[in-house]
Structure 1
Amino acid sequence: MKKIKIGETDLNVAPINLGGNVFGWTLDEKKSFEILDAFTDKGFNFIDTADMYSYWVDGGEGGQSETIIGNWLKKSGKRNDIVLATKVGGETGVHPVDTSKKHILEAVDKSLQRLQTDHIDLYYTHFDDEKTPVEETLEAYDEIIKAGKVRYIAASNISPDRLEASFAASEKNGLPKYQALQPHYNLLERADYEAKYAPLADKYNLTVFPYWSLASGFLTGKYRSEDDLGKSVRGDSVKKYLNEKGLGVLKALDQVSEKHNTTQATVSLAWLMAQTHIGAPIASATSERHLGTLFEAPKLKLDQEDLQLLDKASK
């Protein structure tokens, strides 16, 4: 399987990034282990989580996902085979968005303890509090990189201006640079990334790992009317897509998936992979059947007719 090099790092990842947000939320530890085993047994090596997952279950600090992944890493012995990404700074039930040095230095140790590892391969600024000087945030990262706790850093929900300021501060002060970007990007959410962030990915050689790649499951095609919203705990979050554009995208996905004898989800991920700068779309799975649709995506090569049809429907 062809691997993707992340930015200017020595990290090489398979073209699907397994989202760990469901671990400790819709999946218990036993089922999570089954998903992680099946994913890695197929040669995929990139796992994404965050310190805040899944605080919404009990309104606490979070950490359930990291804990499950840590237990799995210990049981499986696969830590050296995995590129492990987690995040800091997100809001939970007990603390607000925080990218201060104090918070980062405390949070990284908690993540390492839960993950049962001595280092994190890719550490994201999950959300930006927009008040901590970017230099302070980067100085914290510099400290934990030098301590061997983190290898490289990346950015997720940061404004274009603050992202630019971060690169300027890195250059001026010899501080670590973000190597990857994790934006909200999929067939139904294109405008913000393509207008504001794609030029920065190009300028700074950022590898892009889109989250909500399947629009909370809408792009799987299982939500066609309001009657379908009760099919999962995510139903309410896709109601906004039940409009002319959303249904038009599903129609295009139906056409392309039928042509290639595959699923709408596989086509949606293949479309992302065909876009410039995209490394590995992030997608979660709650069953081995779901994983199968992810595994097929890197094999599917959409032709120009497919891409034009999807582009027209999703603009």
Structure 2
Amino acid sequence: MQYRKFGHTGLTVSNLCLGTMTFGLQIDEAMSTQILDKATDAGVNFIDTANSYPLGGGAQMAGRTEEIIGRWLKGKRQRFIVATKAVSQVGPAPWDKGASRKHLLDAIDASLERLGTDYVDLYQLHYDDRDTPLDETLDALDTIVRSGRVRYIGVSNFLAYRLAKALGRADLRGLARFVSVQPRYNLLFRQIERELLPLAEEEHLAVIPYNPLAGGLLTGKHKGDAPPPEGRFTGGKSGAMYQERYWHEREFTTIEALKKVVDEAGVALSTASIAWVLANPAVTSAIIGASRPEQLTATLAAADMTLDAGLKAKLDELTHEYRWGDAQR
């Protein structure tokens, strides 16, 4: 396992982060614990979750993932960097979501209780709440940081211009500043290379990409001429979302080309895909996940892999069109 500085902070994290969005729904607690054990035994010291997880469980199940992690963390909290998020709907009331002062102050206390800790290392906005004034959100986060309940703050799923605006407002008003961004990034989704990653590098932000395997498509195990198997690409809104993102003829054609290249290099596609994400100098730590502990073997191998320059160039070339999004499809 390799370790990297977390943006411009003094924090150091593993270059792989364990994502937990399936814990408590697709994966039961016993299996979740095995996955946590395998990842952390390999040197992962960074765990990412959210108050709305498990994904696909709806507001009625929100918080179950944090509860599982909290029970697992008991007695070893100081060994790990724990990140969680707020903004998504987590209850029946209209104020049980968003980035308002009321919701964020309520949400952090609820997350801390579920996680069984008195602080979170990284607290992130799960997405950009355009219905709440940005200054109100920044004020609330500053209050939370100064109270000691959160060490650092970050964002996820933000457009570059909105993140730039938030950084500027925080600097102007002397408030706690975002230190990280969590975007979607993989060989089949490279749009963030155009604006978000250059902004992150210029502002010295940590970048912790999720979906480095495109929901599992970059394992190479799925076939486009067959219905999606039970799992990430099926079931409710989350399954529909993943199908819309990746389950297209163009993506499967690209994957076949990628498989040929990595097979010739003697590297597993999943390992090469994550190593490609980590090879970007803007990236700090890639968020990985699994349905079973053994699925982590190939992804964990990417932590210490230096991607051959020739292989990286081929992967870049085969996926260059994905820097431009659906407009180029």
Q: TM-score range by the shorter chain?
A: over 0.9
**Superposed, which structure 2 residues align to 1:54-93 within 5 Å?**
54=54, 56-60=56-60, 62-74=62-74, 77-92=75-90
CA shift, 1:30, in A, is 1.0
CA shift, 1:175, in A, is 0.4
- SS for the counterpart of 1:180 is strand
Alignment TM-score, normalising by the size of structure 2: 0.89
Q: Give me the whole-angstrom Cα distance separating, in 1, the residues matched to 2:218 and 2:157.
A: 22
200-209 vs 255-264, greater mean Cα deviation:
255-264
Identity among equivalent positions (%) equals: 38
Preserved CA contact (<8 Å) 2:71 2:115: yes
Structure 1 residue ranges (4+ consecutive) displaced by more than 6 angstroms after TM superposition: none
Alignment TM-score, normalising by the size of structure 1: 0.93
Long gaps (5+) in structure 2: 321-329
- SS for the counterpart of 2:105 is helix
Preserved CA contact (<8 Å) 2:7 2:284: no
When residues 234 and 247 of structure 1 are mapped into structure 2, their CA distance, relative to the original with a 3 A threshold, is closer
Long gaps (5+) in structure 1: none
Please tell me the root mean square deviation across aligned C-alpha atoms, in Å: 1.9
When residues 188 and 143 of structure 1 are mapped into structure 2, their CA distance, relative to the original with a 3 A threshold, is same
Q: Give me the whole-angstrom Cα distance separating, in 2, the residues matched to 1:242 and 1:66.
A: 30
Preserved CA contact (<8 Å) 1:101 1:140: yes
Preserved CA contact (<8 Å) 1:54 1:65: yes
The corresponding residue for 2:288 is: 283
Preserved CA contact (<8 Å) 2:21 2:55: no
The corresponding residue for 1:234 is: 233
214-223 vs 51-60, greater mean Cα deviation:
51-60
The corresponding residue for 1:30 is: 30
CA shift, 1:91, in A, is 3.3
When residues 229 and 11 of structure 1 are mapped into structure 2, their CA distance, relative to the original with a 3 A threshold, is same
The code of the aligned residue for 1:281 comes to A
When residues 104 and 314 of structure 1 are mapped into structure 2, their CA distance, relative to the original with a 3 A threshold, is same
Which of residues 284, 288, 306 in structure 2 aligns to 1:301? 306
The corresponding residue for 2:327 is: none
Say how many residue pairs are matched: 312
Deviation sequence 1:31-72 (CA, Å, 0-9, x none): 111111111111110100000102632542600110100011
